[in-house]
Structure 1
Amino acid sequence: MTNFNSVVEQLTGYIDKLINPTAVVEYYAYLDGSDRVLTSSFELWDETVNQLDFLLQKPSDIFVARKRIIWICMLATLEIVIYLFVSFYRAVMQTVFVLDEASKKMANGNLDHKIILDNRYELGQVVGAFNRITDALVGANQEITVLNERLKAENMRMIAELDVTRKIQQMLPKDRELKEVIDLDIAGFMEVAEEVGGDYYDVLQHKGRVKIGIGDVT
């Protein structure tokens, strides 16, 4: 880099002299300076490339070494996993079979079935959790039965109240009453989609005055 800067400064000096009309620059000296700049730039480029290759190769070597270590760790981990799988395969299959049989009995309505499995590993905890879920389902089933009875009674009460409300809402002005209104032709109709609707209209005639009311729950 130092050599390159030196020859560039010399060539720059020649170029500065060319700007001055009175300055004299030797032709061969100018060509020699240009050649030295080109040669120095090529040398600088070659040295830079070599340094960059070295810097790029170093991380690559580190990556290859780490890759080998990772492969070794993966193989060791795979061996451990295979060993654990073979060790617990029978216990897992036994527990799964017992849970499957218990779930079938629960599906058929037998919620009092208990699972007994002598297992000191985590699968034993799974069985215990399954039994606790079974107990919770039994209690929940009883509560649901009670709530269903209450809901049935509440529905019967609400149906009776809706029936009364529907009859009250149907007590709208009759055609006969509407025809008694003098100087007005009035017609009205309402049919609710459910038991009771939110619409209302009424026509009242009192002491020669007619009052018409129209309402909506919204």
Structure 2
Amino acid sequence: MSRRHGRSNVQISINPTSTILYDAITEVARGSDGESSELSKVTGFSGCSIRLPDPERITEYEITIDGDAADLGKFSEAIYKKILGDAKNQRFQGFRPGTIPPHLLGAYKNFAADETARETVLEALQQNDVNPFDRSREEMTFSAVSFVPSKKKKKGGKKKKKVVEGGDAQVANAEPEPLTFESLESAVKGGWEPGTSFSFIAKVSGQARGMDVLSTGTRDNGLEKMYGQ
């Protein structure tokens, strides 16, 4: 199966026998010799919590993903590289073979973020014994998307300024503050780049296996049981 993104002619191939996130994990775990390491078997994620916000709506879940704990930076980067690799095999009018039009990069970043988020949520459901409905993947929504922007490199190799407080000299080394956005698309516009971890909250529908519905409290297991581990 393939997916056509936006108005470009680039098709993103999707293997129906595995998830895109799993493929990305395998790509990240592959060593320099091209062989997959034990990491490609997915020993697990952490940073996932799932709950039922409304006890009257037993199929509507809220999932919170901690991007740093789940290491979504590596996964999004692997997916993005796969997208660019596919795009370079396409021919774009007015551009040399292997050249990607710059105006398409934003769409590809959106796609990478979107696929990373959706596949992560599906894995969270699987781990917590919740079966998604047929349209759960495409109908899930995201909010409170946050990431920590990379530090801007100073030009000229200037030394860090020293700040004197109470007679003690301290090096000013403030870490960038997390940025929060209402959607994945706005996060990309706000500076998110593939390779940067991001956290988010997702709302998705599904049914607990065996009708053993989760309690309304938050259940935080990580993703240790992913792929049967």
**Larger RCO, structures 1/2 (Cα 8 Å, 6+ apart):** 2
Q: Shorter chain as normaliser: what TM range?
A: under 0.3
Q: TM-score, normalised by structure 2?
A: 0.17
Give the structure with higher Rg (CA). 1
Structure number with the higher strand fraction is 2
Q: TM-score, normalised by structure 1?
A: 0.18
